[in-house]
Structure 1
Amino acid sequence: MDCLWYKKSAKYWDEALPVGNGRIGAMVYGKVGRETIQINEESVWSGDERNRINPDSLKKLSEIRQLLDDEKVSRAQRLAVDALSGTPQYQRTYQTLGEIKITHHGIEDETESYKRELQLDNALALTEFTVDETVYRQEVFASYPDDCIVIAISSKGKKKLDFHCRLDRGRYYDRAYANGQNEIAFEGNNSGLGFYGALRCVECDGKVETIGEHLIITDASNAILLFSAATTFRSKTPDKMTTDILDKAAGRTLEELRIRHLADFKPIYGKMRLELPQDEELEKLPVDERLEQMRQGKDDMGLIALYFHYGRYLMISSSRQGGLPATLQGIWNGEIEPAWDSKYTININLQMNYWPVDVCNLSECYEPFFSLLERVRQNGKRTAKEMYGCRGFVAHHNTDIYGDTAPQDQYIPATYWVMGGAWLALHIMEHYRFTKDQEFVKKYYGILEDAVLFFEDFLIENRDGYLVTSPSVSPENTYIMKDGTKGRMCVAPAMDCEILHNLFRDFLEASDILKIENDLTEKVREMQTKIPPLRIGKNGQLMEWMEDYEEAEPGHRHISHLFGVFPGSEISQDDTPELMEAAQKTLENRLAFGGGYTGWSRAWIISWWCRFGKGNLAYENLKKLLQDSTFDNLMDNHPYWNSRGKVFQIDGNFGAIAAICEMLVQSQNGKIVILPALGDTLSEGKISGLCVRGNGQIALEWKNGKLVLFKIKMKNKEKVILEYNNVTREYMLEKDREYIFDKNLIRINKENN
């Protein structure tokens, strides 16, 4: 069983254990006596939709461009803050819905035994402890088919259950009350967005009553509670929507609810499996103690495998069909005013969230991403027209539940960046490469088309005849000009050029699939030739800006100009070895100055080392991520100015498991490379259910750092190029047949040929 377990309850939110069904999430503390279950509903945001587009943007755009062209960067930046910033500058914030408070009377903190665990393969949070010869047990799971959180509490021994519950949101809700004798509810309104939540006791062998805002259970040995919630984002009557959900679920027994939950969750979770050698002594320790051992320098392959499965668990639990995509914190946020609004940062973070979805066999979790992208496209059309006088759509470096595309913040190194929507659009063809689903391309082709149309109008020709973005930034970095002036805004940073290269390629590939040939495809082919090329600087590094500037912060967390190495692939050892060498030099320089100090940045670094074929360095950075950027509940963390000095961000979890896949198999640029960045420490293991581009799945086993067996099954008839240990072979594989190869990539089961 894949399980995180602990000997003590959670003291802080970032020690609690997450459950979720994509729409509703909970963080279970497992406290003795006074339990807290923090709850989220995906559409509880700080307000309703609004238009924030600055009315003076278009009038001042040409002036800002001219100032940048004249190298009057400080004046350009000052004008941009006034003319380009959103009005108001902030998008909506994702908020906690509140907490379920459960107070057990007569139970103190002292226990005779205690254990809490998160069973990943059952998506179940379990707390069990013994007090006064009585065993108390609490099970919590979030059911997707029944759309609610199930809380089963029992006692066995001398004492009966005696507890009361209430729903709490501090000072940020309007009403709390009882609905009859077995249900309590609370509700409120956030600037036009109404919310409602209810907790109902549906089964109890003792007494159930409500007094005031409290739900009270006494003289019982078993009690089943159901919680659900809704907002006006999805329903004009969230109270009725919630009641309907609870009514349906209440008609089922606990066993029926559990069976339906497992029948939904297990097939998704079970499609992929990573096995690494386990240390029997380490396996006897709770996760927090194992993580501390790793912080002290010990290797723990079993913990890495558990961390990998935990990442897949988090994706399934926070991104399901019909819902919203995973935010900066997935679906779990315990604050009214969380770090960076816990929304969708789209200059790396949302994109990183979805890097593992295809390769980790979780394609069904992708739908919320593309649904949000469609909202971004619609709002982005208005933003493109009113801010820049352009066709198509644009988004900047953040968006929210409504797909808001106007600039967020007045943070010059990030706010005035027009590439966010284009980067999101790249996921369309990347998903296609894994699935070969032409209907999917047809459905979302308009997004690619509108992204291209924006840049046809937005790009301007510079003195050298190149088409450049202006104004722009290299996400969130600062350069130093020759006169010592620090600049953030710029023209055509390397990352913009790399994203444009990918966007134009993807649009033409999609057009070819759909047999579309028109004036726009012809224009894009012409534009492709005018994108500024990537260049190598005086120190042998890949240049981040058009000029070979010095960096104000050589160890900056963003290394955006390596986009072309990963997640892009236009920089490669086979095709552009000089640029590949310069990119590696860039990474080495950043790390030498302390880069990679955030979880998401470290996760990206692992993937870059994988693309460079440096397995030992990939593993070293994976270990550092666990040592330095991981909470005891295995959630990723980011430095922050709160009492903990850090805050949860889910992108590092997702980026890291995508990187682990990159260590084992890479399938970009038309070939499948086996064990490209294994390293010495990950010398033995097995993986199955890993997906590759071309619509295939693979399984492989390795020992002593060497391939033992490789299996592949393609869902289409496909020509594949396999590479391992400098041996390359080409095969034509039939649809839905499994092919098995030895360490020399020679077919073992030739009867399938």
Structure 2
Amino acid sequence: MKDGNKRTERHLKLWYKEPASRWEEALPIGNGRIGGMVYGGDRKEVVALNEDTLWSGYPRDTQNYDALRHLERVREMIFSGKYKEAEQLIDAKMLARRTESYQPLGNLELEHPGDAPATDYYRDLDLETGIAGVSCNRGDRRYKREIFVSAPDQVMVVHYTAAEGASLDLTVALNSPLPYECKAILEGTGLQMKGTAPSHVADNYRGDHPQSVLFEEGRGIAFVTEVRVVQEGGTAAADQEEIRIEGASSITILLAAATNFRGYQVMPTTEGAEEAADACAAVLDAAQKLGYRELRRRHVQDHQALFSRVEIELGRSDSSLLPTDERLERYRAGNEDPALEALYFQYGRYLLMTSSRPGTQPAHLQGIWNPRIQPPWNSNYTTNINTQMNYWPAEVCNLSECHEPLFDLIRELSETGSRTARIHYGARGWVAHHNVDLWRMSTPSDGEASWAFWPMGGVWLCQHLWEHFAFTGDEAFLRETAYPLMKGAAEFCLDWLVPTPDGRLVTAPSTSPENKFLTGDGEPCSVSAGSTMDITLIREIFEHCIQAAGLLGTDHEWSGQLSATLERMAKPQIGPDGRLMEWSENFKEAEPGHRHVSHLYGLYPGNSITPKETPELAEAARLSLENRIGQGGGHTGWSCAWLINLYARLGDGESAYRFVHTLLARSTYPNLFDDHPPFQIDGNFGGAAGIAEMLLQSHRGGIDLLPSLPEAWSTGRVGGLKARGGYTVDIVWQEGRLAEARIQASRPGWCRIVCLNHTLRVSLSNGAQAKREGDAFWMEVGKTYTVTLA
């Protein structure tokens, strides 16, 4: 393939004719720990840097030791109908403090001297290789650079080349919006930047706090960033905290970054800062020995081992040869572009790979990227939907390893959350609320009960443990990791449930995340008893624990207690208007078009509501969706992504596709980042998961092929998706009908396979038919089974 705008093969690339003019146009790279946003300037390259452990704050006791003494009074108020009074007491006495904030590391700045104009400019992000590139002409010479962050070698690499006979002059600098010092090292071939994060950042994004960035002497995480320059030909020298290179034929810049974070419970120390500097030097020594070509080869090999597992084609379009920003504008104007939708799906997978790898911190509200000291919502882990949505594509999109950082967070949160359960609520087990940070804060945040008081965050997170087991069948993971954590969350739920006057077990106090109803006096209020989401989540974790205990042959008596509790628990209810009720009473909604649709959790990501097994509840969920959307719901990027998945579960491919289109057309920046607004990455992940859910489902005890295929994707293929039970699935379809599917099993057993109402044939390559019982087929490990319409 040729360089520049004459390239024709771009189906896995984001590309542009101009440099980025703002952060939301820059292109993201990362290895799960180090992130970069590449602006691609023709004269001056800026790479905005992040490191996943660089947060404000330090270990603190965030417990509210006064909360427990007010709990019974709040419950009395709720059961006597004094909802507003209960909410006011919670706001005044039972909340805690805000989380800390994810911080920017700084900027790598690379500048070319001279004034020759750039022509034939081209920049791209190749999803297949994980490399961002820029090329342009100056005069009759072509100049190129490639930038990537290596996971195997933990280093960012920038490589400059020029056409034969041309030379490269470059100035290299580091800076940070945080307090820092930078100095030249290694006889002018290196730079070292050291700095410290704030001890606290007060969030002012909602407008209810003054701006406040605090630095305490000896407190806060220290960071080190080190750059090393390796050039062929020419000279390099330090000049006032810069490296100036002249007359080189090629230049490689290696960047390492580290902090003195050593665990959520460990106070950062100055000794740790020196260790971070030593770690950077060791990484750069090793990278320099490998050299650019080997670093690139190792990076691409590692990247493709994950990315190339899944392929997708949803159709061709006449916009596919346009730059991505122009293509997006045409899409907004109504031009069909199924190839752009496929690119968006693969971009979601790419973003998860680059922001969440084994051993790193999990992806937060902005993945791993953030340019602000005071980011929106602290760029934290918002666990009443957003953190979970980040990991919806992990299993089905064949990136199971990328799920692991979330499991590490859950384990650590169970440790802090056990204190919160005991101190705040006098309960066993562990609890988490709606906001979590690097320090694993498990307490309520400050603010209002409608968002801050929601002790179901840990319960929802535990669904991801079960999903990982359901997709992989890893019994060791279930026994050693998932079940103990799920059991702890379930024990909290057993103690959190209380009887209503009529004897049903409910949660009290209870909220439906961030939403409010109107009291009898017409006042907006968030606090009552037994919200539908609370009840659905607790029923789900009890059922998962019962199944897990049975599989593991343990806790028979305790499992029986869960079963008995389920019999006494309230269930989701259908209101007089036919909609699924969000609260246990038929309250009037304060905001009928609210962005959260928490009461529909049982439809997705849960599976307690399905059109076949629970048709009345499914119809009530559909009516709820229609009403919420009709009143303006789904207006944020992530909530629009949730709608895709909900309609996919209802088997309504056309409605699901409508919100795929809406997500891309209305809630997407030029670099395809999700526009909440502002940027939140959950919409990217939720959108990718939704596209997968339209093509493959496996939540009903089998494999559903093409359950929500829209007319816009009448012909296409997808390969490498995963189904629960340990199956890998490839699907080809033509004119809206299944042409062929191929299924591989990771363990032997019966597999139910359906494709709408069609009769299926399942066979091996030699033509032999698979053993069959109804719509279930026997599958063996190591064999590929072909599924066709009979």
Aligned 1:285-296 pairs, distance under 5 A:
285-296=322-333
* Secondary structure of the corresponding residue to residue 118 of structure 1: strand
Bigger Cα displacement from structure 2, 28-37 vs 183-192: 183-192
Shift of 1:77: 1.8
* Secondary structure of the corresponding residue to residue 153 of structure 1: strand
Match of 1:117 among 121, 124, 132: 124
Aligned 1:223-238 pairs, distance under 5 A:
223-234=251-262, 237-238=275-276
Aligned 1:334-733 pairs, distance under 5 A:
334-444=371-481, 445-639=483-677, 647-727=678-758, 729-733=775-779
Post-superposition CA distance 1:597-655 (Å, at most 9, x none): 1111111100111111111111111001000011111111112xxxxxxx211111111
- The 8 Å contact of residues 85 and 408 in structure 1, kept in 2 or not, is answered as yes
Shift of 1:69: 1.9
Shift of 1:327: 0.8
- The 8 Å contact of residues 373 and 403 in structure 1, kept in 2 or not, is answered as no
Shift of 1:159: 5.2
Aligned 1:35-434 pairs, distance under 5 A:
35-86=45-96, 89-107=97-115, 110-156=117-163, 160-170=167-177, 172-180=178-186, 181-190=188-197, 191=199, 192-234=220-262, 237-279=275-317, 281-434=318-471
Give distance in 1, aligned partners of 2:160 and 2:166.
Answer: 13
Give distance in 1, aligned partners of 2:617 and 2:494.
Answer: 27
* Secondary structure of the corresponding residue to residue 594 of structure 2: coil
Shift of 1:46: 0.7
- The 8 Å contact of residues 107 and 131 in structure 1, kept in 2 or not, is answered as no
Give distance in 1, aligned partners of 2:729 and 2:496.
Answer: 43
Give distance in 2, aligned partners of 1:168 and 1:183.
Answer: 14
- The 8 Å contact of residues 84 and 519 in structure 2, kept in 1 or not, is answered as no
Post-superposition CA distance 1:326-354 (Å, at most 9, x none): 11111111111111111100000111111
Post-superposition CA distance 1:402-435 (Å, at most 9, x none): 2210112313211000000010011111111100
Shift of 1:698: 0.8
Give distance in 2, aligned partners of 1:602 and 1:81.
Answer: 30
- The 8 Å contact of residues 311 and 657 in structure 1, kept in 2 or not, is answered as yes
Shift of 1:671: 2.2
Shift of 1:318: 0.8
- Residue 642 of structure 1 is matched in structure 2 by none
- Residue 4 of structure 2 is matched in structure 1 by none
Amino acid aligned to 2:493? F
Give distance in 1, aligned partners of 2:316 and 2:231.
Answer: 41
Give distance in 2, aligned partners of 1:556 and 1:161.
Answer: 55
Amino acid aligned to 1:683? S
Give distance in 1, aligned partners of 2:410 and 2:555.
Answer: 25
Shift of 1:516: 0.5
- The 8 Å contact of residues 708 and 743 in structure 1, kept in 2 or not, is answered as yes
- The 8 Å contact of residues 384 and 392 in structure 1, kept in 2 or not, is answered as yes
Shift of 1:64: 1.6
Amino acid aligned to 1:574? K
Shift of 1:157: 6.2
Post-superposition CA distance 1:469-494 (Å, at most 9, x none): 11121011010122212111121100
Give distance in 1, aligned partners of 2:679 and 2:155.
Answer: 24
Give distance in 1, aligned partners of 2:672 and 2:165.
Answer: 36
- The 8 Å contact of residues 231 and 248 in structure 2, kept in 1 or not, is answered as no
Give distance in 1, aligned partners of 2:468 and 2:569.
Answer: 25
Shift of 1:117: 0.3
Amino acid aligned to 1:219? G
Bigger Cα displacement from structure 2, 407-416 vs 282-291: 407-416
TM-score by length of 2: 0.91
- The 8 Å contact of residues 471 and 489 in structure 1, kept in 2 or not, is answered as yes
Amino acid aligned to 1:315? L
- Residue 780 of structure 2 is matched in structure 1 by 734
Residue 23 (structure 1) aligned with residue 33 (structure 2)? yes
Give distance in 1, aligned partners of 2:354 and 2:115.
Answer: 32
Give distance in 2, aligned partners of 1:104 and 1:345.
Answer: 41
Tell me how many residue pairs correspond in the alignment. Answer: 732
- Residue 643 of structure 1 is matched in structure 2 by none
- The 8 Å contact of residues 133 and 158 in structure 1, kept in 2 or not, is answered as no
Shift of 1:132: 2.4
Give distance in 1, aligned partners of 2:91 and 2:80.
Answer: 18
Give distance in 2, aligned partners of 1:399 and 1:517.
Answer: 31
- Consecutive unaligned residues of structure 2, counting only runs of 5 or more, are 1-9, 200-219, 263-271, 760-774
- The 8 Å contact of residues 557 and 601 in structure 1, kept in 2 or not, is answered as yes
Amino acid aligned to 2:513? P
Give distance in 1, aligned partners of 2:86 and 2:193.
Answer: 49
- Consecutive unaligned residues of structure 1, counting only runs of 5 or more, are 640-646, 745-753
Give distance in 2, aligned partners of 1:276 and 1:614.
Answer: 18
Bigger Cα displacement from structure 2, 616-625 vs 236-245: 236-245
Post-superposition CA distance 1:536-584 (Å, at most 9, x none): 1121110000110111111110010000000111111122111110100
Give distance in 2, aligned partners of 1:62 and 1:24.
Answer: 47
- The 8 Å contact of residues 750 and 777 in structure 2, kept in 1 or not, is answered as yes
Amino acid aligned to 1:628? R
Bigger Cα displacement from structure 2, 30-39 vs 406-415: 406-415
Give distance in 2, aligned partners of 1:626 and 1:618.
Answer: 13
- The 8 Å contact of residues 28 and 37 in structure 1, kept in 2 or not, is answered as yes
RMSD: 1.3
Post-superposition CA distance 1:14-50 (Å, at most 9, x none): 1000110111010000012122100110000012121
Amino acid aligned to 2:129? N
Amino acid aligned to 1:194? A
Bigger Cα displacement from structure 2, 310-319 vs 482-491: 482-491
Amino acid aligned to 1:738? T
* Secondary structure of the corresponding residue to residue 100 of structure 2: coil
Shift of 1:154: 2.2
- The 8 Å contact of residues 376 and 402 in structure 1, kept in 2 or not, is answered as no
- The 8 Å contact of residues 133 and 157 in structure 1, kept in 2 or not, is answered as no
Post-superposition CA distance 1:56-95 (Å, at most 9, x none): 0111111122222222222222221222221xx2111111
Post-superposition CA distance 1:148-198 (Å, at most 9, x none): 10001122267532221211113x223111122111111122232111111
Runs of 4+ in 1 over 3 A off after TM superposition: none
Shift of 1:104: 1.3
Amino acid aligned to 2:23? W
- The 8 Å contact of residues 454 and 511 in structure 2, kept in 1 or not, is answered as yes
Give distance in 1, aligned partners of 2:585 and 2:521.
Answer: 14
